[in-house]
Amino acid sequence: MIYIQLFYEFFKTGLFAIGGGLATLPFLYNLSDKTGWFTHTDLTNMIAVSESTPGPLGVNTATYVGFTVGGLPGAIVATLGLVAPSIIVILIIASFLKAFRDSRIVDSAFYGLRPASTGLIAAAGIPVIVTSILSVDSLYTLLTGGMTVSMIKWPAIVLAVVIFVLTNFVKPTKKLHPILFIAFAAVVGVVFRLGGV
């Protein structure tokens, strides 16, 4: 039965995630809260692996979550669930391509959808950043328990700033593949024992 639920959840993700791979994240965090199949930290690790392996990010993450929940059949079911809405929607649109492109209602819906999709991704990203630079397991613990200076992981903050600068402002490194920054971050994580173990 878990397979039916997996298919349904990923079908929903494929249908409502607009704007590519990262847009699936809010749905996956929501799925984690709802089912407890995996933790937020598990998910962040899965995103990291998905970013570093071939294949579209959204597909990789769906496959990974599916595999975690239900082994190989789970991986297949989740991936098929994710792409099923694309197949249906695109096959419909392909038959009246021009009408869709010129439609005013589609255009105005996207006027609202674009900032919303951006906001959803931002809301998924904020806890990832906070839990990676502070020793807390969730944003909720931070809100209820308060923050102390001892929670701050200084090497992680330096790493975050360095990656932010290298990926945005330094010309020769801006265009480098994300996998290189992920590898660099892994090395820093090991050297400074960022996991605390």
Choice between 5 and 68, CB closer to another protein: 68
Q: Scan for tokens 């039916």, then name that residue.
A: 4
Of positions 2, 4, 49, 151, contacts another protein by CB under 8 A: 49
* Residue 69 binds another protein, judged by CB under 8 A: no
For the CB of residue 172, give the shortest distance to another protein in the complex, in Å: 17
CB of 60 closer than 8 Å to CB of 79: no
The closest alpha carbon to 120, from 28, 48, 182, belongs to 28
Contact predicate 41/21, CB 8 Å: no
Q: Which is nearer to another protein, 37 or 60 (CB)?
A: 60
What is the total count of residues that contact another protein (CB under 8 A)? 114
Report the site for another protein in 103-142 (rule: CB under 8 A): 104-129, 131-133, 138-140
The residue from 6, 69, 82, 134 that contacts another protein (CB under 8 A) is 82
3-class SS of residue 36: coil
Which residue type occupies 41?
Answer: T
CB of 4 to another protein, least distance (A): 18
Place of tokens 């392909």: 94
